[in-house]
Amino acid sequence: MREDFTKASILSKSAAGHPAFATRLKAHVAIARLDHSIKNVFVLPGIVVPMTMAQIPVDSTLILHLLYGFVAVTLIACSNYVLNEILDAPFDRFHPVKKFRPAACGLVSIRAAYAQWILMMAGGLLIASFVSWQFTSAAAALWIMGCLYNVPPVRTKDVPYLDALSESVNNPLRMLQGWYMVTTVLIPPVSLLLAYWMVGAYFMALKRFSEYRQLSNPLLAAAYRKSFRYYTEPSLLVSVTFYASASMLFFGAFIMRYRVEMVLSFPFVALVMAIYFRLAFDRDSAVQNPEKLYREPLLVGAVVVCLAVMVSLLLIDMPFMHRLFVPTL
């Protein structure tokens, strides 16, 4: 755990009060949050959907594009995490857990961290250029959103509701990156991108709700995150309901136009969303740290079953479903 590493690292400072070189090096590796690479799973739907819809064969070119693509996505995401660590350090010191992050503890060189931020972005975009210009554009957009989310005076993470909406834009951007790893000919459906955006906002709003509940002191909550000055538990739950409804509306629009068989996946999608909703009420919930959700066996099981069902429905044609949903006069 990164927090455990940081606690131990505080004790390893030199007599002059500065972190030893090895400690500082480990801190710079830690702020890239490579453990968050699990979030790259959000790229997978962008790969699976066009491959099944267009029956794209797996060949050496596709495999190479996937390899380049995932490395590029990881580097861009890590660049954004480094920026987040730098600019959030003053606020993280008010959080009971995040105060142990390397930057909040003063274990990183700020100049070196900014260099790390730029170099990871440049490396990610360079590797992305070996895939396609469309993929590179989506990767650049992901990096730009990281800047808008973190950098003043815009810093959308401080604005209520816009924080969840701007952060969750990364969902459709990741889908686009997966899509453009596979094809630049097939156009991604707007309804599917909007559904992916809204379900991402649903997850993010529940993360905010869980954080707000845990930081029971309103002054402490506002010092940690400015948007918490305006949120309340009811207002966050109302936003969660809106995002869930919107995501299913757009998902339904995609299904009825492109793949009506996927109507049968609705109960499984609803089950995953219900389990996630329940987790948000737990103390120290994994919802606050999505990279730790693999520790929730019920959620993981539901996600695996849901994905299996959805992939099967993408591959298996069911003519009776088309007859069942023929519009009536």
What does the mean pLDDT of the chain come to? 90
| Cα Rg, the chain, nearest whole Å | 21
The pLDDT, as a whole number, for residue 2 is 52
Average pLDDT over every residue of 245-261: 95
Peptide bond into 290 cis (omega under 30): no
**Helix, coil or strand: residue 4:** helix
pLDDT in tens, 90-147: 988 888 888 899 999 999 999 999 999 999 999 999 999 999 999 999 999 999 999 9
The pLDDT, as a whole number, for residue 11 is 43
- Of residues 275 and 10, more confidently modeled: 275
> Rounded distance, CA 120 to CA 74, Å?
9
The pLDDT, as a whole number, for residue 18 is 64
Q: Name the class of domain 1-188.
A: mainly alpha
Maximum pairwise Cα distance, the chain: 82
- CA distance between the termini of the chain: 60
The pLDDT, as a whole number, for residue 14 is 45
Selection from 198, 70, 80 nearest residue 128 by Cα = 70
> Rounded distance, CA 221 to CA 195, Å?
30
Q: Which residues of 131-155 are buried (b: 16+ CB within 10 A; e: fewer)?
A: bbebbbbbbbbbbebbbebbeeeeb
Average pLDDT over every residue of 251-267: 94
pLDDT in tens, 60-75: 999 999 999 999 999 9
- CB atoms inside a 10 Å sphere around CB 263: 16
Does residue 16 have a pLDDT over 70? no
Q: Which residues of 65-98 are buried (b: 16+ CB within 10 A; e: fewer)?
A: bbebbbebbbbbbbbbbbbbbbbbbebbbbbeeb
Distances (CA, A) of 136 to 123, 163, 178, 240, 295: 12, 25, 11, 32, 33
